């Protein structure tokens, strides 16, 4: 059976993304595996996208990421212009069997409004939707438009209208998981790493406080708002404080950063990121939000680094407590768990990632969901 999917990655960044890029990373991980399974992929993205696909459809020549700093109605305007181009394309051709959409809220609304003759659509939810009930309040695409989550916990917290249209969840994957169990383990250092955007939900302030209390070396890796390097943040004036993540970092995290026991290294990428995580003795996630998908969590497992985390959001689905990591409901216990994590076998972490979090596993699951969505649409 040949299947043609229009994969809508949105107008924000090229695919694969040049640096940080959550949705674009998911698409870049998924598409090559879908094509290996024989799916034709028409990618709706920006002109600079370089991911090999069967066809590229774009409205904007390059990524509109900077528009995300503008007021919300202007952000929606950019998304809508992109979606209007996608809708025009869908009306003009009849070879698209299914749309797989990743554009938050606007994408879902546009596809739902396209009418009964449009192809069936699957919209992947990427965020913690309990925070956005108004955006996702209703869905009137009938049985033609379905949604999936990136974890069971994310779906359970989603607005009812979305749950009514859900076809299940698909966990995130990482190319690092491929053959992860066959790679030799690197030498472990003494440090604990927190990998992710610096943000109150990710809890870097808790990690920094615990590092001093329990005397473990801590490396914080990730951007602070738009600042990727410590020197860029240092050079930015007071204006930088307009960004809430910058305020969080300066007020709650920076006072603990002494450049010795606690270091902030900015964004790490490529081999540097992989080496930093693989050589860490623990990947710590002191979460205060309900982590929806946790790419950095599955990456840590794939790199053979045990996870210590608050048991929030998708963490209990991704981590087998006691075998691939240690979870707690009490953030004050995280320090003790970091010290106890030596009993978790890095090999187990890599084996788990190779079995559950590869791009092939994710693509297989999406192909099943595509079938289900098409069946539901044709049974109307």
**Under a CB-based contact definition with an 8 Å cutoff, are residues 282 and 192 in contact?**
yes
* Shortest distance, position 296 Cβ to ligand UDP, whole Å: 3
Q: Which is nearer to ligand UDP, 162 or 276 (CB)?
A: 276
- Looking at residue 285, the DSSP 8-state letter turns out to be E
Decide whether 293 or 335 has the Cβ nearer to ligand UDP: 293
3-8 β-sheet, strand order: 55-58, 39-45, 3-8, 98-101, 121-124, 145-149, 166-169
Q: How far is the CB of 22 from ligand UDP (least distance, A)?
A: 4
- Give min distance, CB of 186 to ligand UDP, in A: 17
Least distance to ligand UDP, CB of residue 78, Å: 20
**In DSSP terms, which residues pair with 227 in a beta bridge?**
224
Closer residue to ligand UDP (CB): 110 or 295: 295
Please state at what angle helix 346-356 crosses helix 295-302, rounded to 10 degrees: 120
- Closest distance of CB 270 from ligand UDP, Å: 8
Residue with smaller CB distance to ligand UDP, 162 or 314: 314
Q: CA-to-CA distance for 70 and 78, rounded, in angstroms?
A: 10
User: What gap in Å lies between CA 97 and CA 78, rounded to an integer?
Assistant: 26
Cβ closer to ligand UDP: 292 or 335? 292
Residues lying near ligand UDP in the complex (CB under 6 A) are found at 20, 22, 25, 195-197, 221-222, 267-269, 273, 293-296, 299
Residue among 169, 161, 111, 167 nearest 137 (CA): 161
Question: How many CA atoms, within 13 angstroms, populate the side-chain half-sphere of residue 320?
Answer: 13
**Run of H or E including 69:** none
3-state secondary structure of 301: helix
Q: Whole-number minimum distance, CB 30 to ligand UDP, in Å?
A: 14
Task: Extract the tokens encoding 154.
Answer: 């994310």
Q: Which is nearer to ligand UDP, 240 or 296 (CB)?
A: 296
């Amino acid at each position: 059976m040949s299947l043609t999917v229009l994969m809508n990655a949105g107008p924000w960044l090229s695919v694969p993304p040049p640096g940080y890029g959550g949705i674009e990373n998911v698409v870049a991980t998924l598409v090559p595996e879908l094509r290996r399974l024989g799916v034709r992929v028409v990618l709706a993205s920006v002109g600079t996208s370089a991911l090999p696909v069967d066809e590229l459809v774009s409205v904007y020549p390059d990524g509109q990421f900077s528009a995300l700093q503008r007021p919300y109605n202007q952000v929606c305007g950019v998304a809508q212009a992109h979606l209007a181009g996608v809708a025009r394309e869908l009306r003009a051709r009849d070879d698209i069997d299914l749309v797989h959409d990743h554009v938050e809220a606007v994408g879902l609304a546009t596809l739902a409004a396209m009418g009964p003759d449009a192809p069936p659509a699957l919209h992947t939810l990427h965020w913690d939707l309990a925070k956005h009930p108004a955006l996702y309040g209703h869905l009137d695409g009938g049985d033609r438009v379905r949604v999936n989550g990136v974890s069971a916990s994310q779906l359970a917290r989603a607005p009812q209208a979305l749950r009514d249209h859900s076809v299940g969840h698909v966990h995130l994957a990482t190319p690092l998981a491929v053959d992860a169990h066959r790679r030799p383990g690197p030498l472990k250092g003494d440090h604990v790493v927190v990998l992710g955007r610096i943000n109150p939900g990710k809890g870097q302030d808790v990690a920094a406080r615990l590092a001093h209390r329990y005397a473990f070396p801590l490396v914080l890796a990730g951007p602070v708002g738009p600042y990727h390097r410590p020197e860029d943040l240092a050079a930015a004036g007071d204006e930088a404080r307009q960004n809430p993540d910058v305020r969080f970092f300066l007020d709650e995290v920076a006072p603990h950063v002494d450049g010795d026991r606690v270091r902030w290294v900015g964004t790490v990428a490529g081999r540097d990121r992989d080496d930093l995580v693989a050589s860490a003795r623990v990947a710590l996630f002191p979460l205060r939000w309900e982590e929806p998908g946790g790419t950095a969590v599955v990456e840590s497992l794939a790199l053979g680094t045990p996870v210590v985390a608050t048991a929030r959001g998708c963490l209990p689905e991704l981590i087998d407590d006691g075998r691939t990591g240690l979870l707690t409901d009490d953030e004050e216990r995280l320090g003790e768990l970091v010290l106890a994590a030596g009993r978790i076998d890095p090999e187990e972490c890599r084996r788990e990632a190779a079995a559950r979090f590869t791009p092939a596993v994710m693509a297989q699951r999406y192909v099943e969901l595509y079938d289900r969505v098409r069946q539901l649409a044709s049974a109307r």
